[in-house]
Amino acid sequence: MDPMEALVRSAVQAWTVQVERGEKRFGGLTDEQLLVSVAPGRNRLVYLWGHLIAVSDDMLPLLGLGERSYPELEAVFIRQPDRAMEQVPSQADLQRWWTDVHGRLAAGFATWAAQDWMGKHTRVSDDDFVANPLRNRLSVLLSRTSHMAYHLGQSALAS
């Protein structure tokens, strides 16, 4: 395998591991189980799941893979804290959104050559990218991988 290809595949694999863990954590829950908090007074599972979906959805435009599927999630799961939402989404809806967004990301990644990961993400200017070539698509993937792991660690505390 070409070394650069292997590097990129290692990073995509690290992302995929977290997505699979998210699926395992949230996929089989009931609507009631989603209302459990990870610790007293802290976020509920439903909020963490919605938050992860909203952040992944935003990776689509950030990486140049198209528009978001569910732009309305940003207001509820990123800009607002938990317990501010008027209506809690059902597990079935969240599951559908989760599957759709991560399917779109995986399909997009599958079309890229290793070199494409070194391209700039869409929220950095040409000048800033020249000054800091680490503001590339791969860095976005890596930071979102850590972000998902961070909240999965919290989600594991709810029982």
Residues 8-47 touching a copy of itself, rule: CB under 8 A, are 8-11, 13-14, 17-18, 38-40, 42
Backbone angles phi, psi at 111, to 5 degrees: -90, -10
Single out the residue of 67, 62, 66, 68 nearest to residue 137, CA to CA: 62
56 binds a copy of itself (CB under 8 A): no
Distances in Å between the alpha carbon of 18 and those of 15, 32, 49, 82, 113?
Answer: 5, 24, 13, 22, 22
The CB-of-38 to a copy of itself minimum distance in angstroms stands at 7
Shortest approach of a copy of itself to residue 22 CB, angstroms?
A: 12
Residue numbers 96-125 binding a copy of itself by CB under 8 A: 114-115, 117-118
Kindly tell me which of 76 and 148 has the beta carbon lying closer to a copy of itself. 148
Q: At closest approach, how far in Å is the CB of 71 from a copy of itself?
A: 26
* Contacts with 18 (C-beta within 8 Å, 6 or more apart), sequence order: 145, 148, 149, 152
Could you say which residues in the range 128-147 bind a copy of itself, by CB under 8 A? 133-134, 136, 138-139, 142-143, 145-147
CB contact at 8 A, 85 and 46: no
